[in-house]
């Protein structure tokens, strides 16, 4: 960046920052040079308000051939941003509160703030938090690599820096079972394993209020409070009437911090994997049942293994209303097939029940080279 840009007066930079409406724009502003970074610090409240909102479209991170380097793609702008992230090589298994939740082959869980790992910038110590390892499956049953892959989802209740005392990390692991740890107790207490019944396989989990909600493949939804260290017996929906010929993945989406929706995604396999069927349900909490719906209205859903979110499409130019943006997921059948991770990224139009490809040719080429699926993340920059 030329010296003229670095010497722009502060009032002009404040004016530029005031007109930035997207997380991707804030990321680029922050990364220009040190004077711009300092202005961002002075406007910290603006950043915090923007990034703390759960209603911003997420940005996919796409791994490069170097494996430690990740590109940032903006679906709304339909382009790859001009900066890269560089963080430790680990398998990513979740995204929450702007952080990534990762794991190594020893099953050590690590929290990473990816946007504090911009390539070429000095790393901050508080951008990485190691947790104790999860219990390993018996060696006679699973290899180390498969043990690692079997953590299919991870989430957090609060920001691990801003609200460490209330932060709980929860994972779905080992064929859909649950485990959690309180961040403040990570140095003295191991993971707690709950609801280990072999016939239960949870597929998604969200934190709402003081509870976690978990959903099974066919739609059965349960809630529990970590304070009791056990899942509640309340069954919110039976779900056994939801029958598919396809392999099915269920996602939970939270609206307005208290309204629960579910999307079921059906797959078929041939030489690759293709999404063939989508059904959308809204929870009737009074009757404890799912009600199928045929429209999202002005909403757009962004769904994936690691993270799912809803946004009001009309607030973001380029965001398509009444559509679902699907990421590629670990499906327990294909795992992560080499050179096929670009096959099943798609946008589903709810009204026309049609699928389209959301990425540019440049992004498609990046996806074809990656060894991990791309990951949704809503940026949170603690400056």
Tens digit of pLDDT for each residue in 331-372? 554 444 455 555 667 899 999 999 987 777 777 777 777 777
Position 183 scores a pLDDT of: 94
Work out the angle at residue 140's Cα, subtended by the Cα atoms of residues 134 and 146, and round it to the nearest 5 degrees. Answer: 50
Of the ranges 28-37, 171-180, 282-291, 316-325, which is most confident?
316-325
Report residue 92 as tokens.
Answer: 């990513």
Position 333 scores a pLDDT of: 45
Report residue 190 as tokens.
Answer: 């191991």
Dihedral over Cα of 77, 249, 305, 280: its sign: positive
Could you say which DSSP state residue 320 is in? P
CA distance 228 to 226: 5
Report residue 86 as tokens.
Answer: 């560089």
- The residue behind tokens 């056994």 is 240
Lowest mean pLDDT among 36-40, 158-162, 324-328: 36-40
Report residue 122 as tokens.
Answer: 């000095």
Strands 375-377 and 91-96: unpaired
Q: Domain locations in the chain?
A: 1-52, 53-377
Confidence check: pLDDT of 144 > 90: no
Find the Cα–Cα–Cα–Cα dihedral 313, 94, 343, 203, rounded to 10°: -90
Calculate the average pLDDT of the chain: 79
259-294 residue pLDDT tens: 899 999 888 777 677 888 899 999 988 888 889 999
Find how far residue 47's CA is from the centre of its chain: 20
Contact of 352 with 363, CB cutoff 8 Å = no
Q: What is the pTM of this model?
A: 0.82
Report residue 313 as tokens.
Answer: 């499409």
71-124 residue pLDDT tens: 888 877 778 887 788 888 888 889 998 899 998 888 899 999 988 888 877 778
Interval 178-192 mean pLDDT:
91
- Secondary structure (3-state) at 174: coil
Position 1 scores a pLDDT of: 46
194-251 residue pLDDT tens: 866 666 778 899 998 888 898 887 788 888 887 655 555 555 554 554 666 667 888 9
- Secondary structure (3-state) at 310: strand
Q: Residue 151 pairs with which residues in a beta bridge?
A: none
Find how far residue 150's CA is from the centre of its chain: 17
Interval 55-80 mean pLDDT:
82
**C-alpha distance from residue 313 to each of 302, 304, 319, 331 (Å):** 11, 18, 5, 28
Contact of 379 with 115, CB cutoff 8 Å = yes
CATH class label, 53-377? mainly beta
Closest CA to 327 of 153, 207, 88, 170: 153
Q: Contacts for 234-237 with beta carbons within 8 Å, 24 or more apart? A: 234/288, 235/288, 236/283, 236/285, 236/288, 236/289, 237/283, 237/288, 237/289, 237/290
CA distance 8 to 81: 23
Work out the angle at residue 344's Cα, subtended by the Cα atoms of residues 339 and 350, and round it to the nearest 5 degrees. Answer: 170
Report residue 133 as tokens.
Answer: 């390892």
Lowest mean pLDDT among 58-72, 132-146, 254-268: 132-146
**C-alpha distance from residue 174 to each of 21, 73, 154 (Å):** 41, 31, 12
Lowest mean pLDDT among 19-23, 176-180, 219-223: 19-23
Could you say which DSSP state residue 57 is in? P
Q: How far apart are the first and last CA of the chain?
A: 21
Position 60 scores a pLDDT of: 86
Confidence check: pLDDT of 189 > 50: yes
CA distance 37 to 33: 6
């Amino acid at each position: 960046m030329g010296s003229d840009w670095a010497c722009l007066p502060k009032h002009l930079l404040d004016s530029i920052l005031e007109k930035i409406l997207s997380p991707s724009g804030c990321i680029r502003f922050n990364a220009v040079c040190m004077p711009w970074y300092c202005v961002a610090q002075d406007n910290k409240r603006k950043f915090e308000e923007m990034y703390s909102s759960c209603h911003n479209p997420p940005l996919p991170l796409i791994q490069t051939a170097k494996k430690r380097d990740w590109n940032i793609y903006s679906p709304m702008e339909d382009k790859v941003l001009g900066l890269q992230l560089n963080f430790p090589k680990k398998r990513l298994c979740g995204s929450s509160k702007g952080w990534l939740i990762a794991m190594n082959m020893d099953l050590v869980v690590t929290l990473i703030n990816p946007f504090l790992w911009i390539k070429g910038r000095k790393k901050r110590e508080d951008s990485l938090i190691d947790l104790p390892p999860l219990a390993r499956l018996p060696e006679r049953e699973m290899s180390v690599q498969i043990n690692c892959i079997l953590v299919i989802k991870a989430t957090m209740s609060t920001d691990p820096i801003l609200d460490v005392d209330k932060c709980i990390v929860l994972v779905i692991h080992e064929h859909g079972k649950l485990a959690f740890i309180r961040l403040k107790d990570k140095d003295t207490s191991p993971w707690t394993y709950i609801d280990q019944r072999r016939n239960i396989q949870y597929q998604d989990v969200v934190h709402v209020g003081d509870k976690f909600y978990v959903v099974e493949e066919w739609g059965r939804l349960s809630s529990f409070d970590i304070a009791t260290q056990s899942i509640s017996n309340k069954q919110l929906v039976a779900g056994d009437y939801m029958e598919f010929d396809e392999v099915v993945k269920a996602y939970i989406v939270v609206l307005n911090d208290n309204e629960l929706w579910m999307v079921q995604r059906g797959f078929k396999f041939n030489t690759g994997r293709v999404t063939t069927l989508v059904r959308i349900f809204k929870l009737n909490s009074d009757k404890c049942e799912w009600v199928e719906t045929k429209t999202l209205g002005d909403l757009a859903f962004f769904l994936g293994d690691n993270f799912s979110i809803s946004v009001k499409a009309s607030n973001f130019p380029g965001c398509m209303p009444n559509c679902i943006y699907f990421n590629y997921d670990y499906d327990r059948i294909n795992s992560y097939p080499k050179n096929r991770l670009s096959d099943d990224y798609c946008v589903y139009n709810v009204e026309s029940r049609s699928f389209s490809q959301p990425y540019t040719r440049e992004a498609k080429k990046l996806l074809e080279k990656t060894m991990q699926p791309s990951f949704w993340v809503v940026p949170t920059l603690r400056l």
